[in-house]
Amino acid sequence: MNVLGIETSCDETSAAVVNEQGRVFSNVVYTQIARHQPYGGVVPEIASRCHVEALPDILRRAVDEAGLGWEGIDAVAATRGPGLVSSLLIGLTAARSLALRLDRPLLGVNHLEAHLYSIFLTPGAPQPADICPLVILLVSGGHTCLVRMEASGDYTLLGQTLDDAAGEALDKGAKLLGLGYPGGPVIEKSAIGGSPSAIAFPRGMKLNQPNTPIDGFDRKLCFSFSGLKTALLYYLKAHPETTTSPEQMRDVTASYQEAVFDSLLGPAEAALKKVHPRAFGCAGGVARNARLRDKLNRLAKRFHIPLLLAAPEYCTDNAAMVAALAAARAARDGFTDASLEAQPNLSLPLA
């Protein structure tokens, strides 16, 4: 089954054709970053206008590059949430029109679940049935959580961030440092050659309190970045020369990035100890980072389990993961999902 997927939840306009085995025939992504950069973050009105302008051509290219023709498309899928409502509506409306025109079924996809599926897209990656139970660390611009995946479509939320998401911590840090948007890639570039241990920024929550649950979650499996962000703010007040000294900037960005990643790895390690999964996965935009990928690799090795990482192009928002999830779900359950309302605050479908 070949699914044409559409992703327009935030600032990437993307269309892809993928089958139920996760074979990617095409994945075309137009990133709007340059359009939002002057404003230091995503502007919803600009995002939706860009989706309207870009989507027709992106769709045509995705179908052309797949080489299957429009008649080779068996179903159409689009992200229905979470995301910016005005942007979600563009993708959903396009998907609805195409499904009608092609006389094909239509599927609405949860963006967070699609990120989880990105780890199965790399050629040679195992399928969920072969490797579950899995612990997956989801690290995007809007979400940071630890998920236990029991089987395709069967998830338990083990812990989540109590304040910012990891990507948000990088984006806000870059803003404080005057490095621009989006923060993750600019900090990664600036950190090259810097010392990750030059400044001792705080890591996550202090665990000196009794281990009482927070919002029903084991405290050890939750994340926090607010102390880290404040520490950077105070550091910059005490060291205003940072922004004009390339050498110091390298050390500060390397140390800040390291603190974000260590804050992720602590709870991830606690989850691996608690769950004893067959494998460990990491998905979402922040998982593009080479330093984080290296640290995740070392963690998985210590637990003697395989690490499933999405290829870099499938970490940040893309339609391949949307189509892959839709194809897998349709192969499993058929076309039962009729919910195509845009849901800006959708959360993971939990068992």
Please report, as ranges, the residues that interact with ligand KG4 according to CB under 6 A. 10, 140-142, 167, 170-171, 182-185, 188, 284-286, 288-289, 316-317
Q: What minimum distance in Å lies between the beta carbon of 285 and ligand KG4?
A: 2
The span of 45-53, 129-137, 176-184, 316-324 binding Zn ion (CB under 5 A) equals: 316-324
Residue 140 found at the interface with Zn ion (CB under 5 A): yes
Q: With CB cut-offs between 5 and 8 Å by kind, which of ligand KG4, Zn ion, none does residue 184 bind?
A: ligand KG4
Q: What minimum distance in Å lies between the beta carbon of 173 and ligand KG4?
A: 10
**What is the spatial order of strands in the sheet that 24-31 belongs to?**
24-31, 12-19, 2-7, 75-81, 106-110
State how far Cα 244 lies from the chain centre.
Answer: 32
The span of 85-93, 127-135, 243-251, 309-317 binding Zn ion (CB under 5 A) equals: 309-317
Q: What minimum distance in Å lies between the beta carbon of 139 and ligand KG4?
A: 8
Residue 13 found at the interface with Zn ion (CB under 5 A): no
Q: What minimum distance in Å lies between the beta carbon of 116 and Zn ion?
A: 11
Nearer to ligand KG4, 19 or 253 (CB): 253
The span of 174-182, 230-238, 314-322, 326-334 binding Zn ion (CB under 5 A) equals: 314-322
Nearer to ligand KG4, 105 or 285 (CB): 285
State the Cα–Cα distance between residues 75 and 42, nearest whole angstrom: 31
- In the DSSP assignment, the letter for residue 127 is P
Burial code of 256-274, b = ≥16 C-beta within 10 A, e = fewer? bbbbbbbbbbbbbbbbbeb
Helix (H) or strand (E) holding 145: strand 144-151
Q: With CB cut-offs between 5 and 8 Å by kind, which of Zn ion, ligand KG4, none does residue 183 bind?
A: ligand KG4
State the Cα–Cα distance between residues 345 and 68, nearest whole angstrom: 35
The answer to whether 163 touches 145, Cβ cutoff 8 Å, is: no
Q: Which residue has the tokens 């396009």?
A: 94
Residue 171 found at the interface with Zn ion (CB under 5 A): no
Residue 8 found at the interface with Zn ion (CB under 5 A): no
Q: What minimum distance in Å lies between the beta carbon of 247 and Zn ion?
A: 34
State the Cα–Cα distance between residues 132 and 119, nearest whole angstrom: 13
Q: What minimum distance in Å lies between the beta carbon of 117 and Zn ion?
A: 12
Q: What minimum distance in Å lies between the beta carbon of 34 and ligand KG4?
A: 15
Closest CA to 59 of 96, 94, 20: 94
Q: What is the CA radius of gyration of the chain?
A: 20
| Residues touching Zn ion, count (CB under 5 A) | 2
- Given CA atoms 41, 110, 6, 115 in this order, what sign does their dihedral have? positive
Residue 317 found at the interface with Zn ion (CB under 5 A): yes
Q: With CB cut-offs between 5 and 8 Å by kind, which of Zn ion, ligand KG4, none does residue 277 bind?
A: none
Q: With CB cut-offs between 5 and 8 Å by kind, which of ligand KG4, Zn ion, none does residue 185 bind?
A: ligand KG4
Q: Which residues pair with 26 in a beta bridge?
A: 17
Nearer to ligand KG4, 150 or 313 (CB): 313
H-only helix segments in the chain: 33-36, 44-66, 85-102, 111-117, 128-131, 166-176, 183-190, 226-238, 246-275, 290-302, 319-333
Nearer to ligand KG4, 107 or 310 (CB): 310
Q: What minimum distance in Å lies between the beta carbon of 113 and ligand KG4?
A: 12
The span of 136-144, 146-154, 287-295, 323-331 binding Zn ion (CB under 5 A) equals: 136-144
Q: Kindly write down the DSSP assignment for every residue of 39-104, as one continuous string.
A: GTS--HHHHHHHHHHHHHHHHHHHHHHHTS-GGG--EEEEEEESS-HHHHHHHHHHHHHHHHHHT-
Could you list the residues that contact Zn ion (CB under 5 A)?
140, 317
